Amino acid sequence: MEPSLELKHNYFNSFIDECYNKISLVKTNEKLYEIYNEIKNTMDIVDPQKLAINSMIGGFKPSLNKNKRWKSLCITSKSTEAYQYYLQNDGCFIIIIKTEKDQIFYHVFNEYI
């Protein structure tokens, strides 16, 4: 697959500058500034601006080798049915869901590319 769009090397510089510009962050959106402060207080080691930039850039070209994708095969209350799906498909796993009313459900996932 070939990309259909090319960008200049400095295309996102204004976005990066805006992430690090705390003055405009305060003036533009108070709710965003509150979220930023909460993230900054809970993430002592990680720089929230750098995390925002890397998250955006990482979204453009996800690595299919690193990021596995899962699809739901079934949700059932019968363990035998969930186990049957598990045996029939490679790369499956089952999550057990217990409700507040003590009902048990089995959610079967399968890896796909």
- Kindly state whether residues 73 and 56 are assigned to the same domain: no
Question: How many CB atoms neighbour CB 77 within 10 A?
Answer: 11
- Kindly state whether residues 56 and 74 are assigned to the same domain: no
- Kindly state whether residues 74 and 106 are assigned to the same domain: yes
For residue 49, give the amino acid letter.
Q
pLDDT-derived band at 67 (thresholds 50, 70, 90) equals: low
Is residue 2 situated within a structural domain?
A: no
Q: What is the pLDDT of residue 112?
A: 77
CA 103 to chain centroid, in Å, comes to 29
- Kindly state whether residues 88 and 55 are assigned to the same domain: no
Enclosing domain of residue 83: 69-112
- Kindly state whether residues 21 and 55 are assigned to the same domain: yes
Count of domains for the chain: 2
- Kindly state whether residues 18 and 48 are assigned to the same domain: yes
Q: What is the pLDDT of residue 24?
A: 54
pTM for this structure?
Answer: 0.43
Question: How many CB atoms neighbour CB 20 within 10 A?
Answer: 13
Is residue 6 situated within a structural domain?
A: no
Q: Residue 111 contacts by C-beta under 8 Å, 6 or more apart in sequence?
A: 68, 69, 70, 90, 91, 92
Radius of gyration in angstroms for the set of CA atoms belonging to the chain, rounded to a whole number: 22
- Kindly state whether residues 56 and 93 are assigned to the same domain: no
Is residue 26 situated within a structural domain?
A: yes
Higher pLDDT, 103 or 40: 103
For residue 21, give the amino acid letter.
N
Is residue 31 situated within a structural domain?
A: yes
Is residue 94 situated within a structural domain?
A: yes
Domain C-terminal end among 43, 60, 77 = 60
Mean of the per-residue pLDDT values for the chain? 75
